[in-house]
Structure 1
Amino acid sequence: MDMSDRQGLQSTRKGSALAWMVSFGCGALLLTWLLQTRHRVVITTFWETPFATLLAVGLVSGIALAIGYRNGLHGMRILKGLAISAFLLLALAAYFTETAWSWILLPGLGLFMMGAFTGLGSLVLRSLQLAPRSVAVEITLGAVVGCWLVSTGTFLLGIVGLAAPAIIRIAWATAVLVGLIGALPLAGRARHAMHSNWAQLGNDGRFVVGLTGLFGVVVLLGCLLAPMDYDALEYHLALPRHYLVWGAIRPTPLNFYAVFPQGAEMLFMGALAWVPKAFAGSILANALHAAALLSALPGCFYAARRWAGGVEAGCAAVLLIVSTYFATWAAGRAHVELFQLQAASAALACLALPANAWPKRGSAVIATGIAAGWGACLKYTSIPCIALPLAVVWMVLGRRTPSEKPTVPQRLLPPILFGLTALALWAPWGLRNLIRTGDPLFPLLVDWLPWADWDPILQHQFTIIHTRPPIPVLQTGLELFGQFAGGMREVDPDAANRLGPLFWVLPWAALAAWRSRAIRVLAAWYVVVILLWLTTTFQVQRYVFFLAPAAAILATAGWDQIGAQVHKERVAVRVALALALLWLPFHLRYSWGARMYANILGADVRGAERPQGVTLEDEVFAYLWHGPSGGNEFRFWDTLDHLTRAGLPIWLLGEAQTYHVHPNGLTYATVFTRHPLEELVKSADSPDDLRQALIEAGDPALAFHWEELARLETSRTFVDPLTGEEQSGYWRFAPRDWEMLKQLLNHPDWYQRVFPSQAFPEVPAGPDWSQPGEQIRRWAMSYSDQLPAGPPRVPRIEILLPRTRVSAPLQEPSASE
């Protein structure tokens, strides 16, 4: 290369660095203009604008590129500098800023952390000589190992009482920095592998890759949804936040879900420790959940490429997964399903890898055991649906050839090694339950390992609520496909829980590839899990989303074989493209990213300052509930938070979404647990006895969410095996119990209603309030002696303080604040 060529190359590199900065700046200016004009956002200071945030990212990236090009650096060296600078910028912006604009960066921070966890797992695999020779498999398996290491480490810190946010942040920062040592070389190998695979793709395949990237961006935008999911606010996010407040992982007997494995929740705990704001912390938790899906895609790609017909088939399978609407829906919720999919994808990739691609004999067995063990740390359903089928597969694969008759050691040694590996990873959670309840799989083995706090009524209730009568398979398939088609016509929140044709239609194409032994095994696993789901659960579709890699591989293998029979090429790729393009408008129309902007920007329209008297740490949550429809709901939770922070014990009945409330002094009960108030009411002979029992219990304030009580009364019912009477699935109050509670609360000398108050009346109940829970509704209608004058109304939510604790009326935020 002569001097002129070098000068031209340097000019090109400088120009690319300058273009990088200019593009960020122009994009930030455009975004700021759109926000100010279309959404009427009031910008108080320059540093609160998205322009400032994105400009900072552009400057740091541009400076890094310019320095790198000036010193002759390129390729991986520049990527290393960008990765480190981006991590530091994201971490500082997320931790120190008070505005919502910096939270737009949190999905990137979550993806960066997952990359670091993957590097950490890769280092461990290589040190143990378990790393596969396929980069795609190493990425997915490394993500599994890294997530388990960080999750288990966080759990152990919490068990020994070292769960203070500062300690968790230090531990996570250490794990991320160590993980970068393994992540950067892995990224270099991945880049070379991508170039090799890209060269094998035609135009259709390259379009599939581009469309997959677009769906990946939509999935990351989905992380920005406000934390409003019931399960997340009840335990997926609530329990980790409570542990951080306590500085330790404590037994929480009134939250039933605290006895389940909490592998994903420990990762959410680290996210909430890293970003103290409740709303921002939930975004980072969502981002880790979504990043688990993205880390699973390389493993799925390799398995599909191996079993379904080449690189283009692998790309088609990945597109089928990421374009399924559930992927975007799940990204906006801190659940566990995408981590389960990560474990299943790693297990399939390890099975697809040939024996000579592992460093030593037995590595594949241990690797699949690691994947199954991580799945068991997430959810009990992973044991029968992932671990047990894999054990059977390894028993079948004990013979080297289909015609060889294996010896007993050859048949038993692989499943035993697999089981011991999975058991070792799951052991911390099993030991915790064994110590706490005597049942490592509580409550699944309670018939043989009884627990004093768990009686036959609760076990019967648990069984009835978690199962439904088997639904005819044909009827289910027609209903689900009909729901999918209906969901395409209109935006329906319930449609987010539908899996679409990927699960119920496309896998049938695998019949065309039935001659493949791998496809037969995969189809058998798929069918068995679907039958288990239909017959032993209450058919929540997200419970089987971890089958998405299997469904995508079956579909692409079948369509590829059909194309070969009719002498057509790239049939699987084109089917995937057609379905993805069909799904894309639905994704974008109901994009959680767009809903996030509506939430945050609409919040700024309602007021740019924190409402006076608000004690909740989450300003955005306050804004979201500051309008006429949600104001009372927000003030109810804010009043609870104010009282618990003041040291007042509170018993909350009817609601368990306690993520936004300080947990000290708060007593609440989830399903399958008995609220102390329920026990006191049943044991009292008169209102005076009940009042005396409450005084002896600490004289707590009483909070009721009557609307939720009425809804839950009829949402789940079961027949009491002792009395033969139909009971509510959540409460067992008899009419006599309601009457005694009414007399207690209406006594003029015992309680004072502090919410809703005369100055802050309750919003009139909506039409849905009069439908469910007739018993509670009729009782609550008669309980109106202390309501403000006016037409009879049902109190949706209320808080009552014992008069012995009231020194002055509680001043609540006014409706105008």
Structure 2
Amino acid sequence: MTLDVVLRMALPALWLSIWTLGCIGAGWPLVSTLLKKNNGARTPLVLVVATGAAVLALIGAVLALAHLLYRPLLIGLLTISVLAGLFVLARFWVKIEFLPEGLVSPLGGILMIPVGATLLLLSTPPVMYDVLHYHLAFPEQWLMAGGFVEFARESFSYYFSAHGILFTFALSTVGPWGASAISWWMAGVGIIAASTLGNRLGGPGVAPWAAACYALTPATLETIGYANADHAVAAWAGAALVALTHDVDTVPTARLMFLVGLLGGTAAGSKYLAIATVLIPLAAAAVLTVRAFESGRRVRAAVLLMALLAGTAVPLAPWVARNVAWTGNPVYPYLIEVFGGSHNSMSLDREIEGNVDLPYSRAGAVAASAGAVVRRTFLPRYEGGLLGLHWLILLPIAAVVTGLRPRLRGPLWAVTLVGFLSWGFLVQYVRFLLPILVPAAALAGAVPAAFGRKVSRLTLGAFAALLFSVYTWNASVLLSNLNIDRLATVAGFLNERDFRVRWIDVAPATDFISDSLSSDARVLMVAEARSFGIERQVIVEDPYRTPLLVEMAEAANSVEDMSQSLQKLGVTHILVNEREIQRMARIRHVHDYWTPASDQSRNLIRSFLETRVTRIFESEHLWVGEIVVPRAGPVEAEPVNN
């Protein structure tokens, strides 16, 4: 094994150690202040680091809003946070619960082997489509521009992205693989949060099983190294529940509820869908926890719920302000009929109709949503991940397990059931269910622990064998061709460039652009949405929109008109991915990519590409062309978002 291979395997652990210290430094002042008078118990490290990540995401979002999101500033902020983290560990380590009791055990170690193995793969380049499309692509553009960038033709650019702000720290320091490592770290936060909740619910014996229920869900393992939003949402949602259940034997303080809201709001600040899968279930659990309608406590309960709402609003404020400034709609591109904003092809109804087969009647829809977990266990949505059979085995039994803390059991079931129902009404991708699986794992983990106390050794052995068989089958999702190639790349058997070309079909073109074009080039992406790695200004369109060239051709009378239109946008080059053309058409549910262009417009586009674009790079289905525009005089380019 060469030194290079050893370093590649060790780098993720080193980077995550630095990142953890930074999150400790950023999170401890807030957590210690808000929990100071709650009780004398040690503060879970998982709560500190999740809060620290939320603080860094909030600061970064404010910097982006003010157009101060620069690499040196982010590096300085992370450095200060790391130094603060070292101080916290040196001064307050006795006040911190590093891991829940019971997780560090032979059983816990065995169950966590698959998760640990994925750490070795993190130094490979990201390849997931959505990561290259927007999860990393937009943070890269933010860093280039020093703040948020609006792409009026790319609806995904309006999405909330607290996790994307965290990725800018990685892009400013170690590079894109660091963002993948942060996502892995977020998965770890979710696992430890599930274990912490399990420990509080049923004792140390529940902790490793709760961790395993969440960690060994196939969807968790499939996406654990992808730099997307799913694990960040689950981590912050789980941490919010850890905060909410910090001391369930007493009515929580307003400061604690503010912290719960801050974490839940940050989860929603990473994904619109988390408004339904995190905030609504969390509100249900909060109402149960504060005993909102008990006699003599209504005013206090109202104050606590207002504190929860205030905490939720803080991390959402920069994203809402950005979207309102751009479109007037805080949740654009959705709910245009309510909040306004320019028309676009994306809508909540369309996404639900495209992903969920719900009956037309309200009662039928509720029933179908309630049974969605069972259905998606056996009929998962494409690219949504797998759920695993262990949930259907354990959760029904968990409903009748005795000996659990009742004041904790109620809120956890409320979050789980309300979350399942909310998810069932919406896009039923299993990976979108991850934030609900954190509390569900605590409940499910209580089952094997209870079996150990109440059944014979033979029955316990048979049950354990069944669970280990299911978990082994779940973990087999790691044996994918992609992960085999990732391991080969880390081990030096596969060249990193060859790995990228094999798994990212647009990589040769993006590499050419980043290596060969001048820094002031502006590239129009045609039939291609993955702009990450180009490191140039781009005009990118989401796959649901009529292509810009079609709209220009419909409005033009000649090739010269099209050339002038692109010149006004400052476009200097075009990237075309011919392999993606038909897939893009299928996404829009049209016959071909150029629909609805007329025959005249199609001829105009063809003539423009043949006479006004000089191909400077070609590779199978890809080509990059330079636009040749006769200039009568200098024309000032319009902003990139037009």
- Using the size of structure 1 for normalisation, the TM-score is 0.67
Change (3 A) 1:189 1:421: closer
Select which of 607, 622, 631 maps to 1:797.
Answer: 622
How far residue 545 of structure 1 moved from its aligned partner, in angstroms, is 1.0
Alpha-carbon distance in 2 for matches of 1:356, 1:462: 45
One-letter code aligned to 1:306: R
Query: Does 2:237 match 1:341?
Result: no
Paired residues of 1:650 and 1:701 also in contact (CA < 8 A) = yes
Q: Counterparts of 2:423 and 2:313 in 1: how far apart (Å)?
A: 24
CA distance in 1, matches of 2:322, 2:288: 33
Look up the match of 1:18: none
Q: Which has the larger radius of gyration?
A: 1
Q: Does 2:529 match 1:656?
A: yes
Contact 1:222/1:329, CA 8 A, preserved across alignment:
no
Q: For 1:46-101, what per-residue CA distance to the aligned partner results, in whole angstroms no more than 9, with x for missing partners?
A: xx644xxx5xxxxxxxxxxxxxxxxxxxxxxxxxxxxxxxxxxxxxxxxxxxxxx4
Change over 3 Å in CA distance of 1:571–1:411 after alignment to 2? farther
> What does residue 635 of structure 1 align with?
508
Q: Distance in 1 between matches of 2:284 and 2:229?
A: 25
Residues 766-798 of structure 1, C-alpha deviations (whole Å, 9 max, x = no match): xxxxxxxxxxxxxxxxxxxxxxxxxxxxxx222
**1:228 Cα deviation after fit:** 0.8
- C-alpha distance in structure 2 between counterparts of 1:577 and 1:524, whole Å: 25
Residue matched to 1:60: none
* Alignment match, 1:72: none
Q: Which residue among 720, 736, 743 is the counterpart of 2:599? A: 736
Q: What amino acid does structure 2 have at the position aligned with 1:753? A: R
How many Å apart are 1:460 and its aligned residue? Answer: 7.8
Instruction: Write out aligned runs for 1:732-771 (5 A).
Output: 732-736=595-599, 739-745=602-608, 747=610, 749-756=611-618, 762-763=619-620
Deviation at 1:270, TM superposition (A): 0.6
Q: Secondary structure, in 3 states, of the residue corresponding to 1:378? A: coil
1:677 aligns with 2:569: no
Q: Select between 547-556 and 291-300 the one with higher mean Cα deviation.
A: 291-300
Letter in 2 for 1:366: F
- What's the CA shift string for 1:261-290, capped at 9, x where partnerless? 111001100100012xxxxx2221111111
**Long gaps (5+) in structure 1:** 1-30, 33-47, 55-100, 276-280, 485-492, 607-619, 718-725, 757-761, 764-795, 807-817
CA distance in 1, matches of 2:141, 2:440: 38
The 3 A distance-change label for structure 1 pair 288 and 727 is same
Q: Does the aligned pair in 2 maintain the 1:118–1:140 contact within 8 Å?
A: no
CA shift, 1:521, in A, is 4.3
Give the direction of change, closer, same or farther, for the CA distance of 1:332–1:132 in structure 2 (3 Å limit).
farther
**Partner Cα separation in structure 1 for residue 546 and residue 564 of structure 2:** 20
CA distance in 1, matches of 2:370, 2:291: 37
Alpha-carbon shift at residue 418 of structure 1 (Å): 1.0
Aligned to 1:556: 445
Task: Give per-residue Cα distances to partners, 1:415-437, cap 9 Å, x unaligned.
Answer: 22211111123222222222222
Q: CA 1:521–1:648 in 2, change beyond 3 Å: closer, same or farther?
A: closer
Match of 1:379 in 2: 271
8 Å Cα contact 1:439/1:450 also seen in 2: yes
Residue 182 (str. 1) matches residue 45 (str. 2): no
Structure 2 residue 109 is matched with structure 1 residue 210: yes
Q: Measure how far apart 1:312 and its partner are.
A: 0.8
Ranked by relative contact order (alpha carbons within 8 Å, sequence separation 6 or more), the top structure is 2
Matched, 1:143 2:143: no
8 Å CA contact 1:399–1:410 kept in 2: the answer is no
Return the alpha-carbon distance in structure 2 between the equivalents of residues 711 and 505 of structure 1. Answer: 38
* 287, 300, 305: which one aligns with 2:199: 305
Q: How far apart are the structure 1 equivalents of 2:571 and 2:199?
A: 65
TM-aligned CA distance change 1:113 to 1:696, over 3 Å:
closer
User: What's the CA shift string for 1:404-463, capped at 9, x where partnerless?
Assistant: 545542443322221111112322222222222212222334212212xx2265548855
Matches within 5 A, 1:294-693: 294-307=188-201, 309-355=202-248, 361-399=253-291, 404-405=294-295, 408-451=298-341, 454-455=342-343, 459=347, 463=351, 467-470=355-358, 472=368, 480-482=376-378, 497-513=385-401, 516=406, 518-537=408-427, 539-561=428-450, 566=455, 574=464, 578-579=468-469, 582-583=472-473, 586=476, 589-590=479-480, 594-600=484-490, 620=496, 622-625=497-500, 633-642=506-515, 644-645=517-518, 647-664=520-537, 666-672=538-544, 675-687=547-559, 689-693=561-565
Distance 1:711-1:804 versus aligned 2 partners, 3 A rule: same
Mark the CA change 1:635 to 1:470 in structure 2 (over 3 Å): closer, same or farther.
same
TM-aligned CA distance change 1:376 to 1:697, over 3 Å: closer
Q: Structure 1 CA distance, aligned partners of 2:265 and 2:466?
A: 32
Q: Matched residues in 2 for 1:475 and 1:213: separation?
A: 30
Give the Å deviation of 1:177: 1.1
Instruction: Answer yes or no: is 1:161 the counterpart of 2:67.
Output: yes
Looking at structure 1, the residues matched to 475 and 192 of structure 2 have their Cα atoms a distance apart, in angstroms, of 25
The answer for the alignment partner of 1:91 in structure 2 is: none
Alpha-carbon distance change, 699 to 657 in structure 1, aligned in 2, over 3 angstroms: closer
Provide the rounded CA distance (Å) in 2 between the counterparts of 1:327 and 1:737: 50
The structure 2 residue matched to 1:711, chosen from 583, 597, 601, is 583
Question: Distance in 2 between the 1:174 and 1:661 partners?
Answer: 31
Kept after mapping to 1: 8 A contact 2:265/2:311? yes
> Amino acid of the residue matched to residue 340 of structure 1?
V
Take 1:127 and 1:464, find their aligned partners in 2: how far apart are those partners?
42
1:671 positional shift: 3.5
Q: 1:709-736: per-residue Cα shift (whole Å, max 9, x none)?
A: 211211342xxxxxxxx688x8753352
Larger CA deviation: 419-428 vs 406-415? 406-415
1:233 aligns with 2:132: yes
* 2-structure distance, mates of 1:351, 1:193: 18
CA distance in 2, matches of 1:114, 1:363: 24
What code does the residue aligned with 1:371 have? L
Decide whether aligned partners of structure 1 residues 339 and 477 sit closer, same or farther in structure 2, where only a CA change above 3 A counts. closer
Residues in 1 aligned to 2:33 and 2:63: alpha-carbon distance in whole angstroms: 24
Retained in 2: the 8 A contact 1:644–1:650? Answer: no
On the 8 A contact 1:163/1:248 being kept in 2, the answer is yes
Give the superposition deviation at 1:252. 3.0
**Aligned partners of 1:221, 1:667: CA distance in 2, in Å?**
35
C-alpha change, 1:592 and 1:186, in structure 2 (3 Å) is: farther
Q: Once the two structures are aligned, what percentage of the paired residues are identical? A: 19
Q: Structure 1 residues 549, 750: CA separation in 2 closer, same or farther (over 3 Å shift)?
A: closer
**Separation in 2 of the partners of 1:456 and 1:660?**
27
Does the residue aligned with 1:645 lie in a helix, a strand or coil? coil
Aligned partners of 2:137 and 2:531 also within 8 Å: yes
**Partners of 2:187 and 2:231 within 8 A in 1:** yes
Instruction: For residue 687 of structure 1, report the CA deviation from its aligned partner.
Output: 4.4
| CA RMSD, 1 decimal | 3.8
Corresponding residue for residue 22 of structure 2 = 116
Q: Residue 224 of structure 2 aligns to which amino acid in structure 1?
A: A
Contact 2:112-2:215 at 8 Å conserved across structures: no
**Aligned twin of 2:636:** none
Tell me what 2:634 maps to. none
The answer on whether the counterparts of 1:218 and 1:593 sit within 8 Å (CA) in structure 2 is no
Deviation of residue 146 (structure 1)? Answer: 0.3
Q: 1:560 to 1:214 in 2, by over 3 A?
A: closer
